[in-house]
Amino acid sequence: MRSSADAASNTFTLAAYAVVAKKEGNVLLSGTSIRSALGLAYLGARGATRSEMGRVLGFEAGVDVRAEADLLRAAAGAAELAIANRLWPHRGLTLEPDYRSAMEAQGASLEALDFARGPNDARESINASVAKDTAGKIENLLPPGSIGPLTRLVLTNALYFKGKWDQVFPKEQTQRLGFYVAPDRPVISPMMRVTADLHYGEVGSAKLLQLAYRGSDLAMLVALPKDQGGLHRLEDGLSWSRFQAWTQVLQRTKVQVFLPRFTFRQGGSVKPVLMELGLAHAFGAADFSGIAGPPGDLYLDDVFHDTFVAVDEEGTEAAAATGAVVQTRGRPAPIPVFRADHPFLFFMRDTRSGRIVFAGRLANPEG
C-alpha cells in the first residue's frame, strides 16, 4: 500500500539522484535520510521558507519523521535497521517551547553543545554519535571547518541497514571476471553467481532483478541496461512513475545471476543539489523563527550527506547520515541470464510501501 508520503519521498529521491548522477562514477544517496534531517528543520520553518521546503522535499501534506521511521523499522523485519534523529543546539540557544515539544513528539534526541567556545570539539562529538549510530560506517559526517563559532544548531539523521539475502550466493561460485566500465574497458572484479527462483522482468532497454532480504519486506532492485553502454539512457527521464512500471513487470522465475561484489562510500555537501532542486530561501533569507529567534536570524549554512554500501555473497550492509548545519547571521523460455558485468542502477526499497531507502549507481566495483 503506497501512501502519499512514500510517493513524495520517492519523487524527491529520484529528483536528487538525477542531479547527483550528472557526475561520472559510482553514486549512492538516501533521500529518506536527507528528508528526515531536513524534516526536523521544516517543522520550525515559517512563511516562504516553509512553503519552499514543502514543495522541494515533498512535505506539503505534512511530515511525520517518527512515523516514517517506525514504518521502515517494521518493514526491516529480521534485517537490522537503525534510524536515529538528533538535535544539537548551541548551549546558549533558547528553542521555542512548541519546537522542543515537536522534536520530542518526533523522537529526536537533544544534546546541547558549546559551538562558540569549542566548535571542533562539538563537531567531533556529533561525528562520534553518528559513527555509533551507523556501526562505524559513517565516521566523519561533518568535515573540518563545517562547524564554527556562529553555528547555532545541527540536525542529524543516521540510518544503518544490514540484511542477509533470502537467496545467498554460494561463495565457491564467485570468480574474478571482467566488469565493463566502458564497452571496451573491462576491470577484473569478484563476480558472484547463483541460479535460483527470483523476481525478474524486462521492460524497454532494461533487465530488472529483485533480491529479497531474509525475513524482511526490504529488497534490492537492480536495473541493468541491456546494452553495455546504455546506462545513461536508462537514467534519462527516471521518475517515480517509471520506477513503478519497473516493479510491476517483476515475476518469480528461475534466473541465472551474475552480480559483482562491491563496496563503496560517498559523502560531502548536498547543498548544491538542494539548491538546483529549488531550495534557496532556507540557505539565505530564511525564516526559522519556529525554532528560535526572529525571522532572518537562523538559516541553513550547509547540508552534509554520507553513504556507505557493501554487497557480498551473504547480503547487504548500508548506511547513510545527513547533517544540516544552521547558523546565525552571522519472459521465461531458456533460463534468463542477468549478467551484471557493466554499469547498473540499484535501489533498496520497501516492497510493501514502495519507499526507496537508497538509490545508487555502480559504475565500477573496484572504485
Query: What's the pLDDT tens digit per position in 60-73?
Result: 888 999 999 999 99
Q: Where in the chain is the domain with CATH 3.30.497.10?
A: 4-163+264-310
Q: What is the pLDDT of residue 112?
A: 94
- Residues 119/204, Cβ–Cβ less than 8 Å: no
How far apart are alpha carbons 132 and 310 in whole angstroms?
A: 18
pTM for this model (two decimals): 0.94
pLDDT at 328: 77
Instruction: Select from 325, 362, 327 the least CA-distant residue to 345.
Output: 362
- All three cell numbers of 321: 547520515
Q: What is the pLDDT at residue 242?
A: 93
Q: Do strands 218-225 and 251-260 pair parallel, antiparallel, or not at all (unpaired)?
A: unpaired
The domain at 171-260+334-362 falls in which architecture?
A: Roll (2.30)
Give the span between the Cα atoms of 333 and 310, in whole angstroms: 33
Q: What pLDDT is stored for residue 331 in this prediction?
A: 47
What pLDDT, on a 0 to 100 scale, did the predictor assign at position 326?
85
Neighbours of 344 (CB within 10 A): 23
pLDDT of the residue at 327: 82
Q: In this structure, are strands 356-362 and 27-29 parallel, antiparallel, or unpaired?
A: antiparallel
User: Where are the strands (E) in the chain, listed by range?
Assistant: 27-29, 80-89, 109-110, 151-164, 175-182, 185-203, 206-212, 218-225, 251-260, 262-269, 298-311, 315-328, 337-339, 344-350, 356-362
In contact, 120 and 79? CB cutoff 8 Å: no
The residues of the chain scoring below 50 in pLDDT are 1, 331-332
Task: Please tell me the distance from the alpha carbon of residue 129 to that of residue 126, in angstroms, as a whole number.
Answer: 5
* DSSP label at residue 310: E
Q: Any idea which fold 4-163+264-310 has?
A: Antithrombin; Chain I, domain 2 (3.30.497)
CATH 2.30.39.10 domain residues, the chain: 171-260+334-362
Contact 120, 64 (CB under 8 A): no
Task: For the chain, state the CA radius of gyration.
Answer: 21
